[in-house]
Chains A and B, each alone.
Chain A
Amino acid sequence: MNGKPENRVEKIIAGLLRGRRLKLRGGDAEEKEAILAAARLAGARQGPQRMHPAFRKRLAEQLGNTAREGWVTRRTALVAGLGLAAGAASGVLLGRGGGPETVSTEQVIEPTDGRWIDVGALEDFREGQGSRVTAGGVGAYVFRTGAKVSAVSSICSHLPCELTWDAADSHLLCPCHPAKFTHDGKPAVRYSLSALSKVHVHVTDQGRVEVLGTA
Chain B
Amino acid sequence: MTPERPTGEQHQAEVVELPVAPRATDIALDELELVYAFIYARVGNRADAEDLTQQVAMKAIPRLREGAPASAIRGYLFATARSVLGAFWSTRLGLSEAELREDLALASPPPPSPSVDRTETVQQILSQLSDNYRRVLELRFLHGYSLKEVAAEMHSTVGAIKVMQLRALRAAGKVHPPE
Q: Measuring CB to CB, which residues of chain A are less than 8 angstroms from any residue of chain B?
A: 5-7, 9-10, 13, 15-17, 19-22, 24, 28-29, 31-45, 47-52, 55-56, 59-60, 62-64, 66-67, 71-72, 74, 77-78, 80-81, 84-85, 88-89, 91, 158, 177-178, 190-192
Contact A41 B53 (CB under 8 A): no
Docked complex Cα distance between A62 and B48 (Å): 18
Say yes or no: A48-B37 contact (C-beta < 8 A), given A56-B29, A81-B59.
Answer: yes
B156 on interface, CB distance cutoff 8 Å: no
- Give chain A residues whose Cβ lies under 8 Å from the Cβ of B114: 48, 50
Instruction: State the interface size on chain B (CB cutoff 8 A).
Output: 68
Say yes or no: A40-B84 contact (C-beta < 8 A), given A22-B48, A191-B54.
Answer: no
Q: Which of chain B's residues 115-164 have a Cβ closer than 8 Å to chain A?
A: 115-119, 121-122, 125, 137, 140-142, 144, 147, 162-163
27 contacts between A and B (CB under 8 A): A6-B162, A6-B163, A6-B165, A7-B162, A17-B144, A22-B48, A22-B92, A34-B170, A36-B89, A37-B169, A38-B44, A41-B169, A47-B117, A48-B117, A49-B37, A51-B32, A60-B29, A63-B29, A66-B25, A74-B63, A80-B62, A84-B58, A84-B59, A88-B55, A88-B90, A190-B58, A191-B58
A168 to B: closest C-beta gap in Å: 21
Docked complex Cα distance between A74 and B60 (Å): 11
Contact A22 B44 (CB under 8 A): yes
Count of inter-chain pairs, beta carbons less than 8 A: 203
Say yes or no: A62-B57 contact (C-beta < 8 A), given A29-B93, A77-B63, A85-B87.
Answer: yes
A198 to B: closest C-beta gap in Å: 24
Given contacts A35-B93, A81-B59, could you give 15 more A-B pairs where the C-beta distance is less than 8 Å?
A6-B162, A9-B166, A10-B162, A13-B140, A21-B45, A35-B169, A36-B103, A41-B141, A43-B43, A44-B118, A49-B41, A50-B37, A66-B62, A80-B62, A178-B91
Say yes or no: A78-B36 contact (C-beta < 8 A), given A50-B114, A85-B87.
Answer: no
Contact B91 A50 (CB under 8 A): no
Q: Measuring CB to CB, which residues of chain B are less than 8 angstroms from any residue of chain A?
A: 23, 25, 28-29, 32-33, 36-37, 40-51, 53-55, 57-63, 83-84, 87-95, 99, 103, 114-119, 121-122, 125, 137, 140-142, 144, 147, 162-163, 165-166, 169-170, 172-174, 177
* CB nearest neighbor in A for B145: A17
- Give chain A residues whose Cβ lies under 8 Å from the Cβ of B57: 59, 62-63
Contact B93 A40 (CB under 8 A): no
